[in-house]
Structure 1
Amino acid sequence: MKVLLVDDEKHVREGIMLLGEWEKFGIETIYEAENGAEAINFIQKFQPEIIFTDMKMPKMDGIQLLEWMKEHYPYCKTVVLTGYDDYHYMRKAIHYGSVDYLLKPIDPEILNTTLEHALAEWKKEEAIRKKNKSSSQLINKMKPAYRDRMLTQLMNNESMKENLYEEFGFQVSQSYTVALVKVSGKTIGEFHGDRNLAYFTILNVINEILTENECGTGFRYLSNKGEIIIIFWKKIEQIEELLKSMYKQLRKTFNISCPIALGESVNKISELLESYSRAKHVILNSNILDEKGERVYLQEIKSETALPNLMGYASEIELAVQAGEIGAFEEMIERVTKELKESRFLSLKLLLNFEKEYQVICNRWLKKYQLSFSVVEKVEKQIDPYFDQNGSFQFEKYIERKKREISLFLKKVKRGSGKKNTNIIYEIETYLQENCNRDVKLQEIAEQFYLSREYISRKFKQEFNVNISDYVVKIRMNKAKTLLKNSQLKIYEIAEMIGYQDDKYFRKVFKRIEGVTPNEYRTSC
């Protein structure tokens, strides 16, 4: 806390400094000024909380100082000092919000009582200011999320109050067109993994162009991850130009590629979802092998030849797995690759299907040999690393990666097929360790290992002297401790990484198991 004493008489300032119980009230610094003009410089530079000021001074008197403070520094508390028991000064002090009016010579008891009162008033008002600021920040933070939620509901044919249309900048029109912007994991990575920052930045660019042209609005589509929706209600004939402008601006400013697809024009708000579905279809069928500079797709592109799928090679895959040699696979991989290269076409939809089929085939064989495997919840994450900064799919790198994965897979199957009398409970333990970042149900384990839930529970407890749920907690806590020791990740990020969506619950569990909070544990390391 800081105090400023303003008086043209030095002995008066020195007397106040001697009489005040500054340490008692937490006053750490006391500044001195000889007049109002000098006081303003101190106020602007040091921002004291309490100011004692004389009323009659050269250059700028106390009344002029109080007047300036009311306009430029209203949060400070002032106490007026004067040797004149004059109603005029008292009235001015009250008018400008001074805490009190003290006559010289200053009585020590009155001085300290006034100081205590002034500090109490300042702290009370400061608490209110902080609360209001916090509330304001929360409201501003919630506004985009609220807007996204309401417009997502509108897209999904849920009604919205008419007064909200204007609030969200949405205009009622006779026709609408929806465009879909894809935001990949790679794009979010360009913003250091901050998903909210990525969406905020991309939407800023999009909505700036839309606002300038008064033709639409963009928002984060909460029904599907990785999607931004743009609703156009004007300038339909200029949509292609506007979408290309958005794509170019994002590439130029942030070096990110966000493919954009356009849906069909519809006549009602209730039909927006149809336009979106068309845009989704267009983007899923876009050719990711295309080297085009602007990934803006206005219509579906179809391959002129029938494209391969892995399930069509099921019998060959079975023979290759039984042979257990990568060479048996490579011939088949080369055939699939050749077909795609000759057609010069690979859609996002086809690639996602390849990944899904690949996971199904691998897991089926791993299950056959009772080997553990991780469940891939989002196949998009598997393909994101193979798109370059221009949005082009690096097909050769993807194929080479798959060859290495298949080689490891075959080695695992080979080892598994040669095992006899393997203790299945240890395989379940490995499965839990590999999937500890999500909730694994007992029924899931039973289905994966072809055993009854009762048998798994009983045998696991016999083997490890703990039930499965407590064992998973133990794994998570050990992983959490490692992350707390060796990373700068935030607590909520660590909670998410080990399978807790609610970081408060994670803190509670950590405290119960470890006896200290995550922050305390990190500090002690």
Structure 2
Amino acid sequence: MIKVLLVDDESWNRDIVRTFGSWEELGMEVAAEAEDGIEALRYMQELRPQIVITDMRMPGADGVTLMNQLHQHYPAVKIIVISGYDDFKYAQNALRYGAVDYLLKPIDPKELNAVLHKCRQELEAASREPDSLGLDMDVSFSLTACKQRLRVHFNELHVDGVAAALQEVRRELERNGVTQSGTLHQVARELLLLLRELMRSNALEEDGQIAQITPDVLASCANTADFLMKQYAYNLELLVKQRKFKNKLNLDEIRQYIEHHFAEAVTLEGLARAFFVSKEYLSKVFKQEYGRGVTDYILHLRMEQAKTWLADERIPIKTVAEMSGYEDVAYFYRVFKKYYGIAPGEMRKNTQV
């Protein structure tokens, strides 16, 4: 049976999901229920569920915090987000952590079971891959920095940067004397999942292709790295063609790209490289069209989103900083205070009055 974990601080919401799910028909069971992200992570270690259905707004460790941890340490787990209509933007940003889908409250039984069926199909497909083993959290953690670099380099069409990141993975595997095909399979699977995410965010889902992992790919660290490079290079080439050979610069496309990626390391230089224009020209025409320079536009989006999330006292300020694109909370405080003239904590107190 496929194990499912329900995460919601309100028991009646969990009751609804448990009642509406066609568990037996889908070959699933609700293995446990948690009231917040911390309790959910304990169940992840104890029970190893394959599907997590989580609400977004919970006291303590909320849905974003939970999804961040699942994304890092349990990347193969299927996540379904439950969100109220007013939380849509909040949930939408959280989906960058790899959720299968989101469901709006009140939950429609047909939609719930359709998403569960989709999860089952994906899990069955993954189980048919060669040497499909359980995940090693240490391996997942060791890939975190590489994933961050790959995300930036792919989005900026930086082929050499992608190649350098993947070669670093190979060197690290060889330094640690990795020969087990299970570990190599996990590395390949996690980095292909990232590639799928990058393809979707760059509108390549239909055109791009990703090859299956075969035993030959897992024969050595070099083979695994070469296989991954071919997959990334092929889809990067498609994205280059898509961007480079357009008749003219589409500023609306760039604006939408920024709005989708504002929480990542988006820069004027990176955008110029990704859309094949000079940074001087891009800066000039973007400001003429939208009244702000690219850097100011990114800052504006981050600050407006941060202000919105701060209005909800259940979202920790550290989480607000991370969701807004700032890993360094102290730096987030400085930027926020400079922008609004008031610290994040003070802003939150004022909105609660």
What is the TM-score of this pair, normalised by structure 2? 0.39
TM-score (norm 1): 0.28
Flag the structure with larger Rg: 1
